[in-house]
Amino acid sequence: MLNFHPEAMSRRHFLSHMAMGSATAMGATHFLSHLQANAAEVKSNQKACILIWLGGGPPTIDMWDLKPKSKNGGEFKPVSTKGDLQISEQLPEIAKVMDKLSVVRSMSTREADHARGTYYMRSSYVPNPTVVHPSFGSVVSYEMAPKRKELEIPAFISVGGGSMSPGFLGMTHAPFVVDRQGRIQNASMEGMDAQRLNQRLQMLTSIENNFIRSNRGEAGQAHKEVYTKAVNLMTSSQMKAFKYDEEPAEIRDMYGRHDFGDSLIMARRLVEIGVPFIEVQFPGGWDLHDDVFGRLKNTNLPRLDSGIAGLTRDLEQRGMLDNVTIVCMGEFGRTPRINQTVGRDHWATSWSILVGGGGLKGGQAIGATDDDGVRIISESYLPGDIWATVAHALRIPLNTVHTSKRGRPMPLANGGQPIKGLIG
Amino acid sequence: MALVLRARSTGIVEKQAVGWRFLLAGVIVLWMLVSWALSAAAAPPQTDFSTGLSDRVVQFIDQQIQQGWEDNEVVPSPVASDGEWIRRVYLDVVGHIPPAKKVQDFIDDKSPEKRSKLIDELLNDPNYVRNFTEVWTNVLIGRNTPDKTSRVGMRKFLRESFARNRPWNEMVYDLLTAEGHFEENGAVNFVLAQLAGNINSEEYHVEATANTARIFLGMQVQCTQCHNHPFNEWKQNQFWEFNAFFRQARRQDHEKYDPQSGRMVDDYSELVYRDFTGPVYFENRGGLIQVAYPTYLGNEVDRDAADRREELAKLICHTDPQSQLARAMVNRVWGHFMGYGFTRPIDDMGPHNPESHPEVVDRLTEEFIAHKYDLKKLMRWICNTQAYNLTSQFNPKNDIDNPAAGEVPLFSHMYVKTMQAEQLYDSLMIATSADGAGGQLSGSEQERERWMRDFLRIFGGNDDEEPTLFSGSIPQALLMMNGALVQKAISSDSGSYVRTVLADPRYRNDTARINALFLAALGRPAEKTELAQLQRVMRADRDPVRAYQDLYWALLNSNEFIVNH
C-alpha cells in the first residue's frame, strides 16, 4: 500500500501524508527519527532586525547625548569612542564598538504616556479608536515570512514578552512570546510520548478532514493549518535556536553572562535559522523617576553595555553584522531637568535612539540637541523614520502599503523616510 | 426548496401551453393557463419549514429572505439536522454546547414544535443571562478592562438588566446617563472606560463620542473628528456637536494607602458631573476655529440644559424619529445569530453602506419598538426563522452565497462562526464533566478567569474580528493541545466523562462508546469513514482507556469542536 519510502521522507512530508489519511500505515517511531533529520542550517546572509526594548523610557541624556556643560547634565561624563561621537562613560564596552553603531539624537515623538508612546514607537502610528496598527515586527513578519519557506517557527519572536498586537495584519503575525529561558508555553516535547502524540494526531486528522469535506467554508481548513504549524513547531529542530546555553563559554562570556546577554544570544541564534524580527525586552525597568544615576550605574547600564557590545562583536565576527540591524530604544526619553528625587520624568520632545548594523553607517551622531538637551537644533525624526530606515536595511520596499480591515490604506512606517545620514 | 420546485413547474406549464395553442388554438385555455401560472408566480412563496411557532413577523422575514434567494438564483441549503441545530442554538443563546443527554433527548423528541420550545426554554435559562452579560461586557468595555474601570460593576449592571429582560432603550438610557461609584452603579463603566487623560484636552471625550455612536447607533463617526467623512453623511461639525453632549462627564479616581507596599494604590473611581455650559471649539481643515452646540441628528437641545447626557439619552432612547437605536440593535442581534449582519461591519450603517435586506431591518425595527425593545422577543423571532434553521453546508446552487469572499450575505445557509474564548471554555466544561451538564460551570469562576487571561493574551482579544473568521494562533493551538485544561478534560478519573462512558453498560461496544464521545463533543455520531479510520488507530494502542482518552483529545482539539456551525 505504501508507495514511498518512509526513511526518505521529511517530517513535513510526514505531516502532509498524514493529512491525506495514509499515515496510519506509518510507524510512530519514524515520526521521531525524522525530527532529527533536518538539523538547523545556519545561514549568515539573511536580513534581520533585533529590537532591544528599554521599557519605561530610558534617560538617553545620560547614555547617548550627554550635556556636561548644563545643570541638566547629571553625574556622568561623556567619553570618546571608536566612532565620531562621545557617549556615556558608563558604557565603556559599547564605546569600543561605536564605529559600528550610530545614535540618532533628534527624536521628537510627542507621546509621553507609557502606553501611547509604546504604541507610537512600535507602530509609527498614534493610537486611534478606529484601527489597531501592527507593530513593526508584525509588518516584517507579514512581508518576509512568506519568503522564508524553511522557517518552521514564527517570523516575529519576542523574548521576555510584553509586546503589542499585530493589529489588522492578523494573529498569524503576532509576536511569538518566549520567556528568558527560551521556553514556549505548552510546546515542550519533554516527557511527551511521541507515539501517543502520533496517534492523537492521526485521529485529529481524520476528524478534521471529515469536517473540511463537509463543505462549510474556510474556517475548518484555517484551523487545520494553524495546528499543522503548531505541531511543526513543537517537533522542529529549529527549536534548538532557543537553547542559548549550548553556546561555547567564550561566547557567553562575551555577552556578559546575565539574563539580558543570554536573551541577545538567543536572538542571534534565531537570526541564524532565518527569523527576520526578534525583540528583546530589557529585563528591568527604565521608568527612573528617582535615583536615576544610582540605578543606571549599578543596575541597568552595566548589563546594557556588555550585552550590546557582545552582540555587536559576535555578529561582526560571524560576518552577520551587515545583514542584521540593531535598534535600541524605549517609548520615549526622560526630562533633561533632574527632579527633586534625583530622577528624570517622561520626555518625548528631544531624545536619542541607538541604531546600527544592517549595512547602515556606524560611528555617527545624527541630529543634535541644544546645550541643555531640551530642544532639537537640527532636523528632527519620528518613529516612522527609524522604521523606514530598518525597512531599507531589510530591503522591504518603502512604497509598501497595507490595508486596514475597514479598507483604509496604511503606508509602511506611516510614510517615514530612511534617515539619510545612516543609509548614505 | 418548495419555491424552486414551483418555479420549475411553472416553466413546464408554459411550454405545454405553447404546444396547446398550435394543436387546439384554444385561446381560452391558454389564457387560463397563463393566468394560473402568473398567479402562482405572484403568490407569496409558502414555507414548508416551521420550528413550530406561527408568527407573522417570522413569516414576513422568511418571505423576504426567500425573495432574496429567488432574485439571486440561489437554492437554499436544507434544514439543519437536529444535532447540528441544537448545538448552534445552545452556543448562540446560552454560550456553551449542549450536554450529550440533551442532544439525544432532542433528537428522539418527535414533537413538531420541539425547536420553538427549545428556543423559549433557552431564553429562560440562567445561562442566557450569563452569556449576554459576557458578550455585552466585551462590547462595552473591551476584553482588556481599561485602567480604573470595574468589570465587576459592568457585569453586575448587565446581569441584573438581562435577568429582568429590561427594555433595551432603558438599559441604554442608564448607560448614557449614569453617575456614581463604579461598583455601586455599574452602568457608569461604559462611559468611564472611554475617559482617560487630561480633562481639558479635546481628546478627553472623543472615545465616548465615537463609541456611543458606533455601539448604540451603528454609526462610524471617528474619522469626522478631524474631517468630513469621505463616505457617510456625517460632517466634522456633527462630530463635535455630538461630542458636546459628553462634556459634562468626568471621571474621579480615588487612591488609598497600601501599607504593604507603602505606596498609594487605586481604590475606586466615579463618574461625576462637571459644570460645563459653553460650546465646543474645534479646528476645521482650513485651520479655522469653529463652535459646536449639542445637537443629535439635526435635533439641537437647549444650550443651557442642566444635564446634557440626559438630553442626549432622551433623544436616542425615546424620541428619535429615525429609531436608530433600535435599528442598530436589530442589526447587531441578527449578526450575533447569523454570523453576518445586514451591513458589514455591523456597526457601520447609513446610506453609504446599504443594508442587504432593508425590508427585514425595517420590519424588525418596527416590531422591536412596538414590543417595547424586548430583546428576548427579538431573539425569538430570529431563532425561529427558516434561515437560522438551515444547515451550514453549502450546496452547488448557493456557493456564491459566501460573505467570507466578500459577497452580500443571502442567508441561504448558516455561516460558520468561531467560538469566542468564553464559549470555548464553558463548552469544554460541559463536554468533560461526568453528567455532561458542566457541574463546574458556575463553581470555579477564578479558574475560568485565569484560563481566559491566558487564552486572550495569546489570542489577542481583538474585538474587531468578525465572528466568522478563524483567527486562532499557534500559542492558542498549543494551549489546547498541551495545556492543563484539556489534559484534565480527557482524564479518566472518577467524575470524568470518559470514565462515565467506559463504565456505562448501555455503551456495549466500541462503536457505541465512540459515538457517545462524538455526541458529547460534536453533537453527532461518528460517520462510517471516520469510524473505520479511528478504530484502526485505536486498536494500535494496547491500553483501551488510553485510546479513548486520545480520541477525546482529538475531538476536543478538532476544527469541528471549536466552530459553531
Q: What is the 3-state secondary structure of A358-392?
A: CCCCCCCEECCECCCCCCECCCCECHHHHHHHHHH
**Domain match, A386 and A287 both:** yes
Cβ separation of A223 and B472 shorter than 8 Å? yes
Reading the block at residue A206, the C-alpha cell is 481524520
Query: Which tens digit of pLDDT belongs to each residue from A292-307?
Result: 999 999 999 999 999 9
Cβ separation of A229 and B474 shorter than 8 Å? yes
Cβ separation of A186 and B478 shorter than 8 Å? yes
Whole-angstrom CA distances from B329 to A173, B79, B127, B171, B347 are 33, 27, 21, 12, 9
Say if B343 falls within a structural domain: no
Beta-ladder partners of A51: A279, A327
pLDDT of residue A190: 76
Domain hosting A230: range is 194-242
Q: Which of B527, B540, B563 sits opposite A219 (nearest CB)?
A: B563
Helices and strands of chain A, counted as H and E runs: 13, 14
Q: Say how far apart CA B477 and CA B492 lie, in whole Å.
A: 23
**Domain match, A262 and A308 both:** yes
∠ Cα B481 B486 B490 (to 5°): 115
pLDDT of residue A29: 38
The last residue of one of the domains, among A242, A257, A274, is A242
Say if B103 falls within a structural domain: no
Question: How close is the nearest chain A Cα to the Cα of B537, in Å?
Answer: 6
**Domain match, A229 and A337 both:** no
The last residue of one of the domains, among B287, B304, B321, is B304
Chain B: residue whose CA lies nearest to A21 = B533
Q: What is the DSSP string of B344-397?
A: SSTT--STTS--S-HHHHHHHHHHHHHTTT-HHHHHHHHHTSTGGGB-S---TT
* Cβ–Cβ under 8 Å, residues B132 and B123: no
Q: Say how far apart CA B100 and CA B474 lie, in whole Å.
A: 30
pLDDT score of A164 more than 80: no
- What is the count of structural domains for chain B? 3
Mutate to test the interface with A, among B478, B487, B530, B543 (most CBs of A within 10 A): B478
Under the banding of pLDDT at 50, 70 and 90, the label for residue A162 is low
The last residue of one of the domains, among A227, A242, A257, is A242
pLDDT score of A104 more than 50: yes
Q: Which of B207, B477, B537 sits opposite A227 (nearest CB)?
A: B477
φ/ψ of residue A96, rounded to 5: -75, -20
**Domain match, A217 and A312 both:** no
Using CB atoms within 10 Å of the CB of residue B557, give its burial: 0 to 12 exposed, 13 to 18 middle, 19+ buried: buried
Q: What is the 3-state secondary structure (H, E, C) of A299-368?
A: HHHHHHHHHHHHHHHHHHHCCCCCCEEEEEECCCEECCCCCCCCCCCEECCCEEEEEEECCCCCCCEECC
Residue A150 gets which letter from DSSP?
A: T
pLDDT of residue A405: 73
φ/ψ of residue A7, rounded to 5: -60, -30
Q: Which of A168, A208, A219 sits opposite B470 (nearest CB)?
A: A219
Under the banding of pLDDT at 50, 70 and 90, the label for residue A171 is confident
Q: Which of A130, A176, A206 sits opposite B474 (nearest CB)?
A: A176
Chain B: residue whose CA lies nearest to A24 = B537
Place of cell 456597526: B347
pLDDT score of A401 more than 60: yes
**Domain match, B141 and B244 both:** yes
Say if A16 falls within a structural domain: no
Domain hosting B538: range is 418-564
Say if A15 falls within a structural domain: no
Whole-angstrom CA distances from B90 to A76, A283, A313, B393 are 66, 46, 60, 19
Question: How close is the nearest chain A Cα to the Cα of B472, in Å?
Answer: 7
Say if A287 falls within a structural domain: yes
Cβ separation of B530 and A406 shorter than 8 Å? no
Cβ separation of A204 and B558 shorter than 8 Å? yes
Q: Distance between the two ends of chain A, CA-based, in angstroms?
A: 62
Would residue A137 be called left, alpha or beta, if left means φ above 0 and alpha means ψ between -120 and 50 degrees?
Answer: alpha
Q: Which residues, in sequence order, are CB contacts of B429 under 8 Å at separation 6+?
A: B96, B438, B440, B441
**Domain match, B152 and B34 both:** no
Cβ separation of B464 and A132 shorter than 8 Å? yes
**Domain match, A97 and A200 both:** no
Using CB atoms within 10 Å of the CB of residue A359, give its burial: 0 to 12 exposed, 13 to 18 middle, 19+ buried: middle
Cβ separation of B557 and A224 shorter than 8 Å? no
Question: How close is the nearest chain A Cα to the Cα of B326, in Å?
Answer: 23
Q: Which residues, in sequence order, are CB contacts of A379 under 8 Å at separation 6+?
A: A106, A367
**Domain match, B36 and B133 both:** no
pLDDT of residue B43: 42
Whole-angstrom CA distances from A169 to A121, A133, A139, A141, A384 are 18, 8, 8, 10, 18
- List per-residue pLDDT tens for chain B, 565 residues long: 333 333 333 333 444 444 544 555 555 555 555 555 544 444 444 457 899 999 999 999 999 999 999 999 999 999 999 999 999 999 999 999 999 999 999 999 999 999 999 999 999 999 999 999 999 999 999 888 888 999 999 999 999 999 999 999 999 999 999 999 999 999 999 999 999 888 888 889 988 999 999 999 999 887 777 777 666 667 888 899 999 999 999 999 999 999 998 888 999 999 999 999 889 999 888 888 989 999 988 888 888 888 999 999 999 999 999 999 999 999 999 999 999 999 988 998 988 889 999 999 999 999 999 999 999 999 999 999 999 999 999 999 999 999 888 889 999 999 999 898 889 999 998 988 766 665 545 457 788 888 887 777 665 544 545 566 666 788 889 989 998 888 888 988 887 889 989 999 999 899 999 999 999 999 999 999 999 999 999 998 888 899 999 999 999 999 999 999 9
Say if A1 falls within a structural domain: no
Mutate to test the interface with B, among A111, A223, A233, A289 (most CBs of B within 10 A): A223
- For B338-377, b/e burial (b = at least 16 CB within 10 A) is bbbbbbbbbbbbbeeeebbbeebbebbbebbbeeebbbbb
Whole-angstrom CA distances from B253 to B182, B267, B273 are 10, 8, 13
Q: Say how far apart CA A83 and CA B379 lie, in whole Å.
A: 70
Residue A62 gets which letter from DSSP?
A: G
* Cβ–Cβ under 8 Å, residues B57 and B366: no
Say if A219 falls within a structural domain: yes
Q: Say how far apart CA A186 and CA A179 lie, in whole Å.
A: 12
Mutate to test the interface with A, among B223, B476, B559 (most CBs of A within 10 A): B559
The answer to which of A24-28, A173-177, B192-196, B541-545 has the lowest mean pLDDT is A24-28
Reading the block at residue A75, the C-alpha cell is 553625574
Residues of B in contact with A203 (CB under 8 A): 533-534, 537-538, 550-551, 553-554
- What is the count of structural domains for chain A? 2
- For A241-269, b/e burial (b = at least 16 CB within 10 A) is bbebeebeeebbebbbeebbbbbbbbbbb
**Domain match, A366 and A231 both:** no
**Helix (H), strand (E) at residue B237:** helix B236-243
Q: Say how far apart CA A93 and CA A251 lie, in whole Å.
A: 15
**Domain match, B144 and B264 both:** yes
Q: Find how far residue A186's CA is from the centre of its chain.
A: 22
**Domain match, A406 and A419 both:** yes
**Domain match, B137 and B37 both:** no
Q: Which residues, in sequence order, are CB contacts of A168 under 8 Å at separation 6+?
A: A131, A132, A133, A134, A402, A403, A404, A405, A410, B464
Cis link prior to A92 (omega < 30° from 0)? no
Q: Say how far apart CA B198 and CA B275 lie, in whole Å.
A: 16
pTM of the model: 0.80
**Domain match, A172 and A291 both:** yes
**Domain match, A168 and A123 both:** yes
**Domain match, A381 and A408 both:** yes
The last residue of one of the domains, among B304, B321, B350, is B304
Say if A205 falls within a structural domain: yes
Cβ separation of A226 and B476 shorter than 8 Å? yes
Say if B27 falls within a structural domain: yes
Using CB atoms within 10 Å of the CB of residue A315, give its burial: 0 to 12 exposed, 13 to 18 middle, 19+ buried: buried
User: How long is chain A?
Assistant: 424
Cβ separation of B223 and A210 shorter than 8 Å? no
pLDDT score of A6 more than 60: no
Place of cell 430583546: B375
**Domain match, B560 and B440 both:** yes
**Domain match, A321 and A403 both:** yes
Say if A134 falls within a structural domain: yes
Residues of A in contact with B527 (CB under 8 A): 210
Domain containing residue A80: CATH number: 3.40.720
pLDDT score of A25 more than 70: no
Say if B551 falls within a structural domain: yes
Reading the block at residue A285, the C-alpha cell is 525597568
**Domain match, A283 and A227 both:** no
* Cβ–Cβ under 8 Å, residues B537 and A202: yes
Q: Say how far apart CA A63 and CA B70 lie, in whole Å.
A: 72
The amino acid sitting at A271 is V
- Do strands A365-366 and A101-107 pair parallel, antiparallel, or not at all (unpaired)? parallel
- For A329-341, b/e burial (b = at least 16 CB within 10 A) is bbbbbbbbebeee
Reading the block at residue B152, the C-alpha cell is 465587576
Say if A24 falls within a structural domain: no
Residues of B in contact with A168 (CB under 8 A): 464
Is the ipTM above a cut-off of 0.95? no
φ/ψ of residue A193, rounded to 5: -85, 110
Q: What is the 3-state secondary structure (H, E, C) of B253-272?
A: EEEEEECCCCEEEEEEEEEE
> Could you give the residue ranges of the DSSP H alpha helices within A150-288?
194-213, 219-235, 249-254, 259-273
pLDDT score of A5 more than 70: no
Place of cell 550610530: A102
